[in-house]
A and B are shown apart, each in its own frame.
Chain A
């Protein structure tokens, strides 16, 4: 009976969403305050009922209710509790419910943190999000009901969660990615609301910015978690494979990155309005495209859910309806978005435009490469795949150009910057970066390497220009500390995120070009050397876990005769399905990772295994953490909270208000 309550709760959420998608928007058009005021309580109601729905589904998983189809398909009575709970998002239906619940969560946040915005605007934003909610819940009820039962004879036990998913990464990666993905719906809704009202001013950009930053930061973490998880779980030491399902989050992220930069220009200078709106629509379309590719089964990938063509068609319908509608509205309102072009050919506006063009072009070429096999198959009936070389050939040069401009952008000035000023600012840094890039890798590697040189040059270029800019900003203050205090948080956020880019660049570049690996067959007592490391195989033992059995190898690592400890890679057989799974052993370090995957036992007790040395691989995710922190710090900048604070501080009179006015 309880699962049916979940479904009823889902239907109630649908009813509320239908109200939310109509009344507040109509109310905003007709100046009906009662209808507009319904937006917030309706959003809260949807959140409650979707939460209830999700809770009931979680209950079914925790209590092993195998009469529920997806519990039987994705769980098992032997599964540890943490995986029973998270098995909920181990399949299409449950993960879509989570996705929709995340949307409701964002809606609740918008309705709480929107006190400073006019009611009309909030009503429209929540109304647009309500439309999305209607689409998603209808999709669930029509094609993928998470509460569907197996009647009349439910299985005695479930067929287990996919063994590759039984891991910490699975607990954290999907929710974070969804949270980031869905966050761009909020920015999309802001843009649509602004289009509906016809008022695309800097106020709209200021309201959107913290939301865009937070969604972007969460998406950054979500993608990084996925990369980290793939790295230690899939067993070949890769952190990015240009897989058709990895690409849509990256496409969304690139659009999102372009968007947060373009929003900055729109807020500060009132230009690029139509472009910003378009980016908001594109970022949202990217997030829906990700859903479509994962769930339609049109592309082959490790992520694909069991496919069902009707789902694909339905999602394509949602995509067409929302993005098509948005673009139509965009076309109608385009004449309103004229901005007075008040900048010259050398100005920060132009550099940010270059940033946007590069990001959008790279996103578009990844999009092309991802969908090309599908189009090709439709046209010629031949199956093809597009390999990583394509993506690398396009993406890497574009990023190199982007990083060069990344150093110049922040140092340049709004409206107009004289070329001499720029040259004076960066020429020393350029020389210094070249010097560091040429000398540092030589000292460490004792040989010349183009890749290392380029990476180090670009990374030092980014870091040095950032510090130069910081120095410029505090130069005219009497004390360094006062200068540092006077800078807004959004500035520090920007610095941190850009330094994160440099950190990630070092990680990506050095891991890609200096990783080494060796596949060998080792008997007990035998040793293999890789670089300056020696791996000694000491034998193996049988192990038994809660829902698996397996073998664990014991391998001790030494470097120049100094002991670095012992690693224990495993090979497991999961009992419910008999699926084998390798658990690699990693010795993680700031400057390098050591990494062993176990193959199989051959005759005479020797084992096949692959050992890897991956220099600087942690820097990839460290960089992502820096970026996400930067985005979050920028989002909590004081100027976004000015008006929200006004209420409790009313008694203190205007004095405090003046102090809280934005600096820019």
Chain B
């Protein structure tokens, strides 16, 4: 895909090293994790660049967005500290440019084994036999709780304050003691009138 020669800068910008490193900085500022290495951020940026190559709309939005960042930053966005850079991103957070980066980052940055390692998530487990012998119950800072069904008083299913009609299907007690009766209890007004208008269209 190429843009008309009248706008050669559009063809250049999206794929320059400068654009890529600015994009990496945008992702780091928008999704700051002090414990994450550079690799996942770089891979996410490359995924975004790849997606932009495949979509005219995203490519245009990305190119324009990166140019605008420099304007708002009053220079090179990469030179801003985190607070200043965050302020710039807050100003553009409703743009398609930022929305595209945000959505793509959320979907890809956290689907990365290096990120899982950084946050302490262990990933696929079935090939290791699950966690049945590897700590599914190793929490010791709280007492061992009961796992069985409570054997005291059953739940009062309907609060005593609720008036029940005669011939009612339910009782205030638990379900085991519920009476079973049959009666026509459809007295909800409104429904049938409302549907006639719809059906007759």
Indicate, yes or no, whether A interacts with B. Answer: no
Residues of chain A touching chain B, judged by Cβ–Cβ distance below 8 Å, are none
